[in-house]
Structure 1
Amino acid sequence: MLFRRNKLAIAVALVIVQPIAASADPITIIDHEERTVTLARPAERIASIPIPIASTIIAMDGGTSKLVGMNPTAKSAIVEGVLGKIFPKAKDIPSDITAPNFIPNVEELATTNPDLVIQWADRGPDLVDPIVNAGLTALLISYGTEEKTKQYQAMVATAMGNPERAEMINGWRDQVVAEMAAKSKDIPAEQKPKILYLGRALEALTASGDKGNYNAFYINLVGATSASADVAGQGTTISPEQIAEWNPDVILLNSFEAKLGLERVYDDPILSLTKAAQKKRVYKLPLGGYRWDPPNQESPLTWMWLANLIHPDIFQYDLRGEMRQAYKMLYNYDLTGEDIDSILWVGMQGDATNYAQFKAK
């Protein structure tokens, strides 16, 4: 563990002090629709329509200067989370470049004068044609797996002329995955708790099946199983009675719903009877530079957080220390103790089972 962290610290120092040379040759990227995207020079102005990519651009660049437009939901994560404190100017970046359902608002998009527009792949021409027809360059990315996450992070860094940045960050991801998989592979099935992740929980309760579900990926990684593995599709509405039937050992609440708190489970006449509620194993996913639920540049921290909660006898990450090193690498920022408490919702869930380990010593 110490070896990995020392390597990370060295890599952070190199990224911070070494100047990045501009590429003289055109940049060519194969995107997730297997389109060839060519840039005459590294992109200096990037607009991001998919929600998670705004913070990815910031992390791959180490700042906000190249992000000229983003999705309003991405902006809400910045405003609500610590990234708005780290990069206050991010709050002023336009977020009107997209209409509902990720349809480009071409008029507003054009005013940002982007060198590159990042858009979803595999979702039809209505999302792409307006961008291309306006004479703008589009890079299409897909979402939902660890492999795709590493790929689009590499695409973004390459587009900015700094592929080494993604190589370093993706190397960190690979190393943590390997460490965790080695520790969790021999956990007997009967010792793997059932975890239910609720993608929405206020106006409706939603859960997703295992196929293409990133939450299921890291639930399995830390030595647990997904309670909703057999649900058909993603974001499927479920009932409290269905949750009672599953009777999960742990319930994870999403970080997308700002007003969602642990009382949603504890005050519910049905959900409060689950093993998760009875044993105080209900947790809200942290909100850092981005929401920790979906894949993003901070995902290894999500895995460590959950691993420590689920199997504290097997995983003993110094999460606060890991967060400080990661934020230095990703954003060149020194997290304060108050920052960490806020990201982890310590005030809200500090009394939950096994949560005391995350409090400042």
Structure 2
Amino acid sequence: MIRLNRIKNFMVTALVFVLLCSLVTGCGSREISEKNTGSVETSQQRSGERVITDHAGRTVKIPAEVDKVYFTSPIAQIMVYTLAPEKMAGWTMQLTDKMKKYIPPQYQELPYLGGQQMSAKLNIEEILRVKPDVIFSVGPDPISDTTKSEADKLQQQLNIPVVVVDGDINSTEKAYAFLGQILGVEDRAKKLIDYCNRTMKDVVEKTKSIPKEKRVRVYYAEGPEGLATEPKGSSHAILLDIVNAENVAEVQQKGGSGMSNVSLEQVLKWNPDVILTWSTDRGGACNKILTSPDWKNIKAVKNGKVYEIPNYPFNWFDRPPSVNRFLGLKWLAAILYPDVYQVNLVKEVKEFYKLFYHVDLTDDDVKELLKDAGF
């Protein structure tokens, strides 16, 4: 009788175990990260696929091994380039000779395949020819229903998995960890996450206590005339918010590529302490602002505080608003608040370019990058 009870107990235990396994989609299944930060499951490894939940909450099937990827914007392109450049199928921007100086030769000749930023378009025919395993969609704006529908549409058009990743600067850790899992470079992702977290913490802690009356008033001058800008809260000018500067632009915020038009009269009225501008060789207004009599009475111009944003291979402040901005945070805090944020910027630039861009810079290289940037 005792033996019969033991057999019954064993059978019940075995049945419960089988039921539990079926509820979690197979005993071999393993979810690597929390669902609300994007998840990667390994339940279908034997079929050559993985099932992921992207940052838009979409369920997407991707190959078990991802060897080649593309992107819809430079934001994702730069993140992948910093993580696993050998897996890039191409560039979303056409590299200039000045950009190539800061990019290793083996990546310079990757094809230009277009993107969905500004007025650019994806080269569908070429993308299909190079056959990326996955396409990443990362935009400057918060993820929305439009983000989801556009990703679905592109996925159907190409028959290639499209994965949405959160591009907000405050979601960088989440984005890098998720991309690292998909690309199989988790250790590399951890190194970049650590740098970004340390930078953000350091800059915020040192600038957060600056009283309102001592905050530097900044105008971000975009375009060839310097008469386009971004207001407070824009993803394109968020570094000003992070370092506790006063963004003087009181204009309506535009989504996507931004660039709200303003008049010179408005800029004169705002009378900023500092002007940040695109470099002249990028089509910016730096020379015009410094030499035109129309701008000469603005405080920033009179005091020589018009700075070109370092721009190679990618802009430190914006366009594209990707992880390149973490070096930009250090530069910006140092030029705006030198009394509270001291840094050996030459050393910092060398460290960043080696870690993120895979290149070793000389002191002269760094001085060239910084020559019109306030250092």
Which TM-score band applies after superposition, normalised by the shorter structure? 0.7 to 0.9
After TM superposition, give the deviation of residue 322 of structure 1 in Å.
1.1
**1:293 equivalent in alignment to 2:293:** no
Q: Name 2:369's counterpart in structure 1.
A: 343
Q: Name 2:232's counterpart in structure 1.
A: 210
Hey, what's the Cα distance between the residues in 1 that align with 2:317 and 2:279?
7
Instruction: Classify 1:341/1:313 alpha carbon distance in 2 versus 1 (closer, same or farther; 3 Å).
Output: same
SS in 1 for 2:206: helix
After TM superposition, give the deviation of residue 221 of structure 1 in Å.
2.7
Q: Name 1:19's counterpart in structure 2.
A: none
1:119 alignment partner AA:
S
Instruction: Classify 1:310/1:98 alpha carbon distance in 2 versus 1 (closer, same or farther; 3 Å).
Output: closer
After superposition, residues 172-183 of structure 1 pair within 5 angstroms as: 172-183=195-206
Q: CA RMSD in A?
A: 2.7
Hey, what's the Cα distance between the residues in 1 that align with 2:307 and 2:61?
44
Hey, what's the Cα distance between the residues in 2 that align with 1:104 and 1:288?
23
SS in 1 for 2:351: helix
Deviations 1:277-336 (A, max 9, x none): 010110111123421122323322111111111111111111111111222222443211
Unaligned runs of 5+ in 2: 1-41
Q: Name 2:192's counterpart in structure 1.
A: 169
1:157 alignment partner AA:
G
2:335 to 301, 309, 324: 309
Q: Name 1:228's counterpart in structure 2.
A: 249
SS in 2 for 1:297: coil
Hey, what's the Cα distance between the residues in 2 that align with 1:256 and 1:126?
35
Instruction: Classify 1:204/1:289 alpha carbon distance in 2 versus 1 (closer, same or farther; 3 Å).
Output: closer
SS in 2 for 1:107: helix
2:125 alignment partner AA:
E
After TM superposition, give the deviation of residue 52 of structure 1 in Å.
2.4
Hey, what's the Cα distance between the residues in 2 that align with 1:55 and 1:102?
17
SS in 1 for 2:70: strand
Deviations 1:106-128 (A, max 9, x none): 22110111011123564464565
Q: Name 1:105's counterpart in structure 2.
A: 123
Q: Percent identity?
A: 21
After TM superposition, give the deviation of residue 252 of structure 1 in Å.
0.4
CA contact (8 A) 1:60 1:165 kept: yes
After TM superposition, give the deviation of residue 214 of structure 1 in Å.
4.3
1:140 alignment partner AA:
V
**1:133 equivalent in alignment to 2:154:** no
Unaligned runs of 5+ in 1: 1-22
Between stretches 298-307 and 31-40, larger displacement belongs to 31-40
After superposition, residues 27-66 of structure 1 pair within 5 angstroms as: 27-61=50-84, 64-66=85-87
Q: Name 2:4's counterpart in structure 1.
A: none
Hey, what's the Cα distance between the residues in 2 that align with 1:150 and 1:257?
33
Instruction: Classify 1:296/1:183 alpha carbon distance in 2 versus 1 (closer, same or farther; 3 Å).
Output: same
1:247 to 271, 285, 291: 271
CA contact (8 A) 2:113 2:122 kept: no
**1:318 equivalent in alignment to 2:344:** yes
After TM superposition, give the deviation of residue 255 of structure 1 in Å.
5.0
**1:68 equivalent in alignment to 2:92:** no
Hey, what's the Cα distance between the residues in 1 that align with 2:337 and 2:345?
14
Query: Could you say which structure has the larger radius of gyration?
Result: 2
After TM superposition, give the deviation of residue 204 of structure 1 in Å.
6.2
Q: Name 1:277's counterpart in structure 2.
A: 301
Hey, what's the Cα distance between the residues in 2 that align with 1:311 and 1:126?
41
**1:237 equivalent in alignment to 2:261:** yes
Q: Name 1:330's counterpart in structure 2.
A: 356
1:312 alignment partner AA:
P
TM-score, normalising length from structure 1? Answer: 0.79
Hey, what's the Cα distance between the residues in 2 that align with 1:240 and 1:129?
41
SS in 2 for 1:252: strand
SS in 1 for 2:261: strand
More relative contact order in 1 or in 2 (CA 8 Å, sep 6+)?
1
CA contact (8 A) 1:56 1:296 kept: yes
Hey, what's the Cα distance between the residues in 2 that align with 1:126 and 1:298?
26
TM-score, normalising length from structure 2? Answer: 0.76
Hey, what's the Cα distance between the residues in 2 that align with 1:305 and 1:141?
27
Hey, what's the Cα distance between the residues in 2 that align with 1:186 and 1:79?
42
